Each structure stands twice: as structure tokens, then as C-alpha cells.
Amino acid sequence: MAANDMELAGLVAATGDRRAFSQLVVRHQTLVRAMLTRMTGNHALADDLAQDAFIKAYRKIATFSGKGSFKSWLCRIAYTEFLQSARKRKAAAAALERYKAHQDIEERQQNWDAGDAMDLDRALSHLSEVERTVIVLCFSSGMSHSEAAEVTGLPLGTVKSHINRGKAKMRALLEEKEAVQV
């Protein structure tokens, strides 16, 4: 019989067993990579962040208390990696914008063209970072609202509010797209 996540995490924490940790990676890598891909919109960046998250999880496995699920604990680490990366990307983007303004280069338009095909990833890109994150966690990664609250560190009510606002924005985008096509 295969060991559960708690048993494997305990074995890794106690002995540093890499084979046990590799079993945890195999079990959860698809979820973590998919979550990060949806959050970033970039497969290569998501793969890099997932790798960083698993390395950090291995190093910090002794901090896993077992109070929540291993999946939530791991997704929290992945989410933290995403936030750190987003901060770095925002700083780099701000520096680039300052450079462009200084060089008097026209900014590229970032607006969505109503003639483009509407898909989930395009709709997600129109949400705020936190709305996109909780929607991805709950609907794409299959987490409950409580698990999403645990991963993000947000109160449960705040997670629910962000989900409702995000869904409303996506619904409006779809309705706008339909109106343009008619």
C-alpha cells in the first residue's frame, strides 16, 4: 500500500529521504505547474517557479506541521514563489517603462481587442492578481474556498468576495464579446 502525503512528508523530514520526496513531487507537480501556469500565463516561468517551490518545500519540510493538507502547504509555497516573482517582474516592468518614457518611445497597447477569440486565459488576464489567483486555485486547481484561503493567507470571506468579483468581470467580458459578435 502506498504511503499517504503525511507519512511521506514525515519520512522526508525525519531522514531526508529523497525518494519519498520524489513521490510527493510526482503526486503534486501537475497541480502546482498548472496552478502557476494559469497565474503567470507563461509555461516556462511556471515551470521555473514550480521547481523553485519544490526545492523550497524540500528544504522546509520540517516546518510542515500536518495541521492542513500537504497539498495546501505546498501550494502556499508555490503561491509565495509566484508573489516574489511577480514583484520582481513588476519592478523590471516599471524600470522598462521609465526607460521607454525617457527615450520617448511609445508604449505598446495592452488593451484587449474585441475581435480576438475569447478564451479562459484571456479573461483571466483581465482580473486583478488576487482575483485571478483565487479563481485559479478554486476552479482550475480544484481547491475549496477554505483551502484557497489557507494558500493565500486571506480570510475566507475575502476569498469568496474576490471569486464573486472575478466571476462577474469574466461574465461581463463574455457578454461584451457576444454583443460585439452579434
Q: How far apart are CA 23 and CA 175, in angstroms?
A: 44
Domain 109-182: which CATH class?
mainly alpha
95: helix, strand or coil? helix
19-28, 107-116, 138-147: which has the minimum mean pLDDT? 107-116
Domain locations in the chain?
A: 1-107, 109-182
What fold characterizes domain 1-107? Rna Polymerase Sigma Factor; Chain: A (1.10.1740)
Query: pLDDT tens across 65-105, in order?
Result: 888 899 999 999 999 999 998 888 887 777 777 666 655 43
Give the burial class of 109: count Cβ atoms within 10 A of its Cβ; 0-12 exposed, 13-18 middle, 19 or more buried: exposed
> What is the average pLDDT across 50-63?
94
DSSP summary character for residue 106: P
The answer, yes or no, to whether residue 116 has pLDDT greater than 80, is no
Percent of the chain with pLDDT over 90: 42
**CB contact set of 86 (below 8 Å; sequence gap of 6+):** 129
Cβ atoms of residues 8 and 23 within 8 Å: yes
Residue 146, C-alpha cell as written in the block = 477554505
> Which residue would you say has higher pLDDT here, 111 or 139?
139
